[in-house]
Structure 1
Amino acid sequence: MNGTAVTVETRPDGTLIIHPRGQLDADRAVELRRTIVHAVRRVRPLRLVVDLRNLHDLDAINVGTLAAACQLGDDHQVAVFLDYCCPTIAERLTAAGVPGYRLRHTAPAA
């Protein structure tokens, strides 16, 4: 997906990894939401990982999208995990209702 803020890869074990990068704001919200919904509803991997290591910032719309992705995954028997988010984003996600066990490889707050 050249020129986009979101790329997708599939691992040999069937894990689907979504890589958002840069700053996800309202202009990019639709792209992330469509990618996640397509993955959960159509592809239906056993595990969906959203790798947040290359994300500079996340607005409220996309925080809500990631929180909803966890619930959507539960509805469709897809385990959703959010990896490598910074402490600030982890705090926002937790405040939005994302359970702590879904946040993996998160650096502790300084």
Structure 2
Amino acid sequence: MANPPLTVRTSDDGTVVLQPRGDVGVDAAVELRQVLVHLIRRVRPYRLVVDLAEVSGLDDINVGTLVAIVPVADELGVAVFLDNPSAGVADLLCASGVPHQRLRPVRA
């Protein structure tokens, strides 16, 4: 069975890790937004990590979703980090308004 396009897990320290996969396009927009809103508004983990290591591309809708969640999460006391983006995805997110300190580079 193939990996699902979006997985959520909780690490030992309580960090919630959301991991989308592949080319995250318009077909994934509703699910990504719903999962992020649920996690931020209902679950309210201390830290939410969106692991972008397996994302090959993001469409404009999903870029906007990731840009929008950062200040909303801040208001609710949830620290959001976007981990392991490719150089192109990182440039796109920064150009769209994600603070660079919220992007954590690919791990070696």
Q: One fold, TM greater than 0.5?
A: yes
Report 1:87-102 matches (<5 A): 87-102=87-102
Unaligned 5+ runs, structure 2: none
List, as ranges, runs of 4+ consecutive aligned residues in structure 1 with deviation greater than 6 Å: none
Q: How far apart, in 2, do the equivalents of 1:30 and 1:98 lie?
A: 20
Residues 53-101 of structure 1 show CA distances to partners (whole Å, capped at 9, x for unaligned) of 0011101110001011111111111000000001111111001110000
Kindly indicate whether residue 81 of structure 2 is the aligned counterpart of residue 81 of structure 1.
yes
Aligned residues: 106
Q: How far apart, in 2, do the equivalents of 1:22 and 1:98 lie?
A: 21
Hey, what does 1:61 align to over in structure 2? 61
Kindly indicate whether residue 18 of structure 2 is the aligned counterpart of residue 18 of structure 1.
yes
CA RMSD in angstroms comes to 1.5
Identity of matched residues, % = 50
Hey, what does 2:36 align to over in structure 1? 36
Give the AA of the match of 2:103.
L
Q: How far apart, in 1, do the equivalents of 2:16 and 2:68 lie?
A: 17
Q: How far apart, in 2, do the equivalents of 1:99 and 1:19 lie?
A: 20
Give the TM-score of the pair, scaled to structure 1.
0.91
Give the TM-score of the pair, scaled to structure 2.
0.93
Q: How far apart, in 2, do the equivalents of 1:22 and 1:86 lie?
A: 12
